[in-house]
Amino acid sequence: MGIKELLRENENKDLLRLLTCGSVDDGKSTMIGRLLHDSKQIYDDHLSTLEKDSKKVGSAGEAIDFSLLLDGLKAEREQGITIDVAYRYFSTPKRKFIIADCPGHAQYTRNMATGASTANLAVVLIDARHGVVEQTKRHSFIASLLDIGHIVVAINKMDLVDYSQEVYDKIRSEYEDFASRLEVRNIHFIPMSALMGDNIVEQSPNMPWFMGTPLLEYLQTVHIASDRNLIDMRFPVQYVLRQDMSFRGFCGTVASGILRPGSEVSVLPSGKRTKIKSIHTFEGMVDEAYPPMAVTVATEDEVDISRGDMLVAPNNSPRVSQSFDAAVVWMSEEPLDTERHYRIKHCSTHAQAEVTNVVYRFNVNTIGREEADSLTLNEIGRLRIDTSRPLAFDPYRRNRATGNFILIDPLSNATVAAGLILDRTSDEDQIQQPKVSTNIRQQVSPVSLEEREARLGQKSATIWLTGLPKSGKSTIANGLERHLFDQNRMVHVLDGENLRHGLSENLGFTALDRSEHIRRAASVAKMCNDLGLITVVALVSPYETDRCHARTIVGAEKFFEVHIDAPIEVCEERDTDGLYVAAKSGEIERFTGVTAPYEPPVNPDLKIDSKETPIDLAVQKIVDLLSGRGILG
Amino acid sequence: MSGYHLSHLDELEAEAIHIMREVVSEFENPVMLYSVGKDSSVMVRLARKAFAPGKLPFPLLHVDTGFKFEEMYAFRDKFVKDIDANLIVEGNEKAKADGANPFDLGTSQCCALLKTKGLLDALKEGKYDAAFGGARRDEEKSRAKERVYSFRDKFGHWDPKNQRPELWNLYNGQHNKGENIRVFPLSNWTELDIWLYIYKEQIPIVPMYFAKKRPMIVRDEQLIPVEGPMRLKEGEEPEMISCRFRTLGCSPCTGAIRSEADTLEKVIEEIMTARQSERITRIIDHDRDGSMELKKREGYF
């Protein structure tokens, strides 16, 4: 292969960051050693050193003790345990891997959290002789808390239980029971013997009952969804660069969203407005910056911006507050002291922090909540935290980069806790909505909605159909319209494309324009609802924030979000207009699903798989939903 | 979903730049250790990227043992001049004057004096509170255990059993007076990443990384260059061997490998198929089990 192809292949490879965890002696280091060895990733000289070491200090008799490959510290080799994370790097023709081999001892849980914070997959090992133990649960819980979407449960040491399927099934169901309380998208089980090499790289002949693939094959093929957020523009300013009088730039790493010259930005926490003038890199100016690019931004106006500030899109702000709730992993031998002040580091901001309330502590065995007034080493709880200056943040689950923080002991300078900001609680202030001028009074109609509804013999509602282009929204909307109309309902369809011929004809497809398009559609729907009509909206509406906004405009009790879901390949097949082809060739810009993101609804009122569901059935499902919610009597 | 995706190298680059900016923001007096090797070349390029169009906001520091190859010194001086950087050269002058050398002292003792002590003294003298180094985790098994911010006490010592947790990209740079950290912005780079990046960016490196015929002697399966103060053993005859250096250190303690790879393309191809690790030619790593860890605990990089 020539160097050019090699580089290209290398550029196209994706990266999987994984960690191994589980209890002491479950065989984590051995498993990685075996994985590297069997996939021929160990250099000859390292292998011969390993063979020598194994004879000298190994615990595998005459055979190779693979854990010695990873346990790089003297204290670890002497004691045969893992104390701190070891990072290993390898690559196959399909993927690059960074493995964080984490310690199993409860005492070193903080090191496990260190390894987990950057991972997108966790391999949790279980000793087949012992089954699910507390450390299995603790590590799985931390993985879930840190939003690692994929867990591989490696049921190891199967050779010591006669490769018994019964043992495997029992542990599997035990784990599944526990994991039903976690928030992990994908859990996969593999029975193995790391020591003997069963189901690591090669399919094990000792467990013919296992139909799945060995570990390496699974790691090479598992689909890892990107955790990048391209929606919410967040640019924490890290460093202010002054080059004589002519240039002042703001350096930082794009946390989320996309920055473009000309974009309006609001500087938090001050709220001052300016525009991005240009985006600089060593190579020159660029048209766009997205996560995790490290760039330098120059602004149109001379606004006061310094380290710790955050540039955001004015219509899509994070919360700015001096108080929030967070899930916190305590990492210090010194327990949490609510009387003390800590130092908080969040993005590029430092502030003083005070824990004003220990809301509860998690019981890692049950994931239940317990009352507590402090947290001790390795405990996890929900805390209310007040800070000395306002921070701009998002919930961790929505935005990792702006939703995490650490607490530092100001005396010892030690990192004592890792925190994940939780969604705002109900008793807190709602997001600040732009205020309507107080000079404009709302006129109240002498005819009430109830009177209108009574005349029409129906209750009004908005059925909001969201989904990829060509997922079937309009077809289903029209089917629903016909069906309801035939039943003497006053119903109409607001179609996104039709609106763009009229009300929204001055809008394009940038995130900003899409937001506005949706605001208009929602406002029209609201007016129609106020007249007593049933409004069916068919609109791609790709962003969760915009749909939330639409819900607010219409009113939550009248708003029904229906996700019309179809695999993108199916949408492409249906696309007789050639939109997808045009999007892929670059002819159409910012096409949802191809060059612009689609965020599936987290919690839709209804989800319809339009590939599998015929139109009448889809219509019936929506009718059932409306009947169930009292809209159709 | 396509688009808005950074390649692996671009991601590594962004991570390194983020780390450097963070250090410059949170420390009073950072310095970048410059060893003249390929990793240093990459690290300096990244630093220039981090602060462009400005100048490097810190000096480069070369801890010179006096045993480096001539080609390295020549390269260093030109490189620094070309990029207009501020280079400080320091060393343990007393030990040098006393004639410290690996032949009489052994490699461990020599390293402790010329490198570790030289480095610690230089850091102390310059009152540096943060020192960037080009070490990578994939080089050696104790380095695989180290954090990006490697905290050192006032003796410059590393306590591997008590490292600060390091989550996401939130680095804790809090320290007391007299303490310092070592910072490793290339932690997640592999040897191949370094070479691909050098290729992509056309970064200048010392010509010794490329194969040519050099006078060498063969000793204990190592190719030792005939240069500087080296001592020939009885019966040893230098011969011209086509070889190149995979890593660069002090001339008495750095071996070469037989190679025909005289271009970047060929070097990358060679690295891709190598069956031997990078540091096999570094004699200091093989003194005894855990020798790198011991050196590091005492203050070495």
pLDDT of residue A136: 94
Cβ-Cβ contacts under 8 Å, B13 against chain A: 294
Helix-helix angle A134-145:A165-179, to 10 degrees: 50
Q: Looking at the structure, do residues A306 and A333 belong to the same domain, yes or no?
A: no
User: Taking the CA of residue B189 as centre, how many other CA atoms within 13 Å lie in the half-sphere pointing to its CB?
Assistant: 29
Is residue A88 less than 8 Å (CB to CB) from chain B?
yes
User: Are the CB atoms for A423 and B189 separated by under 8 Å?
Assistant: no
Alpha helices in A360-509 (DSSP H): 400-403, 449-456, 473-486, 496-499
For residue A427, name the pLDDT band (cuts at 50, 70, 90): very low
| Residues A592, A526 share a domain | yes
| CB-facing half-sphere around the CA of A512: CA atoms within 13 A | 14
Interface contact B168-A118, CB threshold 8 A: yes
Q: Do B164 and A292 lie within an 8 Å CB cutoff? A: no
Q: For residue A593, list chain B residues with Cβ-Cβ distance below 8 A.
A: 1
User: In this structure, are A50 and A98 located in the same domain?
Assistant: yes
Cα–Cα distance measured from residue B60 to residue B84, given in angstroms and rounded to the nearest whole number: 11
A190: phi then psi, degrees, rounded to nearest 5? -140, 125
Contact B14 A243 (CB under 8 A): no
Q: Which of A318-322, B216-220, B287-291 has the lowest mean pLDDT?
A: B287-291
Calculate the average pLDDT of chain B: 89
- Residue A341, domain extent: 321-425
Cβ(A241)–Cβ(A282) below 8 Å: no
| Average pLDDT of the segment spanning A400-418 | 95
Q: Which chain B positions have a beta carbon within 8 Å of A118's beta carbon?
A: 168
Residue A345 has pLDDT above 60, yes or no: yes
In a domain, A115, yes or no: yes
| Structural tokens at position B213 | 């015929």
Q: What is the pLDDT of residue B262?
A: 95
A264 shares a domain with A159: no
- Closest CA–CA distance from residue B287 to any residue of chain A (Å): 13
Nearest by Cα to A531 from A591, A490, A479: A490
Q: Tell me whether residue A444 is in a domain.
A: no
Q: Over 90: is that where the pLDDT of A219 sits? A: yes
Residue B283 pLDDT > 70, yes or no? no
B170: chain A residues, CB-CB within 8 Å: 345-346, 404-406
Residue A290 C-alpha, separation from nearest chain B C-alpha, in angstroms: 7
Residue A3 touches partner B, C-beta closer than 8 Å: yes
Contacts of B275 in chain A (CB under 8 A): 43-44
In a domain, A446, yes or no: no
Look at residue A443 and tell me if it is in a domain. Answer: no
Does A217 score more than 60 pLDDT? yes
Residues of B in contact with A5 (CB under 8 A): none
> Please, which pLDDT band fits residue A202 given cuts at 50, 70 and 90?
very high
- Indicate yes or no: CB of B137 within 8 angstroms of CB of A404: no
Query: Of the given ranges (A44-53, A211-220, B115-124, B179-188), which has the lowest mean pLDDT?
Result: A44-53
**Is A53's Cβ below 8 Å from some Cβ in B?**
yes
The count of CB pairs under 8 A between chains A and B is: 185
**B173 vs A245, more confident:** B173
Tell me: do A538 and A604 sit in the same domain: yes
CATH no. for residue A244? 2.40.30.10
Residue A445 maps to a domain: no
Contacts for A614 with CB less than 8 Å, ≥ 6 apart: none
Last residue of a domain, one of A191, A226, A261: A226
Same domain for A68 and A212?
Answer: yes
Distance to chain B for A3, nearest Cα, Å: 6
Out of A279, A312, A345, pick the residue that ends a domain.
Answer: A312
- Complex ipTM value: 0.92
- Looking at per-residue pLDDT, the higher value among A511 and A127 belongs to A127
Instruction: Give the pLDDT confidence of A246-272 residue by residue, as tens digits.
Output: 789 999 999 999 999 999 999 999 899
A238/B21 touch (CB, cutoff 8 Å), yes or no: yes
Distance from CA of A72 to the nearest CA of B (A): 5
Residues in chain B: 301
The per-residue pLDDT for range A451-483, each reduced to its tens digit, is 898 888 889 999 999 999 999 999 999 999 999
In B, minimum Cα distance to A584 occurs at B2
Put simply, the answer to whether A13 touches B22 (Cβ < 8 Å) is: no
On whether any CB of chain B is under 8 Å from the CB of A70, the answer is yes
Do residue B145 and residue A86 have CB atoms under 8 angstroms apart? yes
Residue A353 has pLDDT above 90, yes or no: yes
How many domains, in total, are found in chain A? 4
Best residue in A36, A89, A146 to probe B by mutation, most B CBs within 10 Å? A89
Whether residues A113 and B166 touch (CB distance < 8 A) is answered with no
Domain match, A220 and A238 both: no
Between chains, do A15 and B274 touch, taking CB under 8 Å as contact? no
Chain B nearest-CA distance from A255, in A, is 11
Give CA separation, A50 vs A24, A57, A102, B148, B287, in Å. 21, 10, 20, 26, 16
Which conformational region is residue A154 in: left (phi greater than 0), alpha (psi within -120 to 50 degrees), or beta?
beta
Are the beta carbons of A294 and B160 separated by less than 8 Å?
A: no
Q: Is the pLDDT of residue B135 over 80?
A: yes
Q: What is the mean pLDDT of chain A?
A: 88
**Residue B53: its chain A contacts at CB < 8 A?**
243, 247, 280
Q: What is the DSSP string of A591-609?
A: -BTTTB-----SS-SEEEE
Cα separation values, A220 from A5, A214, B96, Å = 21, 10, 52
Q: How far is A461 from chain B (nearest CA, A)?
A: 34
Q: Which of residues 195-234 of A touch B (CB under 8 A)?
A: 226, 228, 230
Same domain assignment for residues A211 and A276? no
pLDDT at A424: 60
Q: Tell me the residue type at A182.
A: L
- Shared domain check, A459 and A419: no
Positive/negative CA dihedral, B213, B216, B218, B223 = negative
Measured distance CA(A565)–CA(A618) in Å, rounded? 11
Does residue A442 lie within any of the structural domains? no
**A291: closest CA of chain B, how far (Å):** 8
Q: Please say which residue of A312, A332, A365 terminates a domain.
A: A312
pLDDT at A316 over 60: yes
Chain B interface includes A464 (CB < 8 A): no
Task: Closest CB to B54: pick one of A6, A243, A597.
Answer: A243
Could you tell me which chain A residue has the CA closest to the CA of B10? A293
Q: At what angle do helices B8-26 and A3-12 cross, to 10 degrees?
A: 70
pTM score, two decimals? 0.77
Q: What is the DSSP letter of A183?
A: -
Answer yes or no: do A542 and A576 share one domain: yes
Which of A72, A408, A598 is closest, CB to CB, to B172? Answer: A408
Chain B neighbors of A239, CB-CB under 8 A: 21, 24-25
Contact A292 B15 (CB under 8 A): yes
The answer to whether the Cβ–Cβ distance between B170 and A406 falls below 8 Å is yes
Residue A266 lies in a domain: yes
pLDDT band at B2 (very low <50, low <70, confident <90, very high): very low
Q: Which residues between 238 and 277 in chain A have a beta carbon less than 8 angstroms from any beta carbon of chain B?
A: 238-239, 241-243, 247, 251-253, 258
Q: Which of A74, A258, A407 to mutate to test the interface with B (most CBs of B within 10 A)?
A: A74
Is A436 a residue whose pLDDT tops 70?
no
Tell me if A98 and B188 make a contact (CB, 8 A cut-off).
yes
Q: Is residue A56 part of a domain?
A: yes
Do the Cβ atoms of B293 and A74 come within 8 Å?
yes
Q: Mean pLDDT across the stretch B172-180? A: 88
| Same domain, residue pair A206 and A283 | no
The full DSSP string for A374-406 is ---TT-EEEEEEEEEEEEEE--TTT-HHHHEEE
The answer on A68 and A151 residing in a single domain is yes
Confidence of residue A437 (pLDDT cuts 50, 70, 90): very low
Which residue of chain B has the CA closest to A249?
A: B53
CATH code of A136's domain: 3.40.50.300
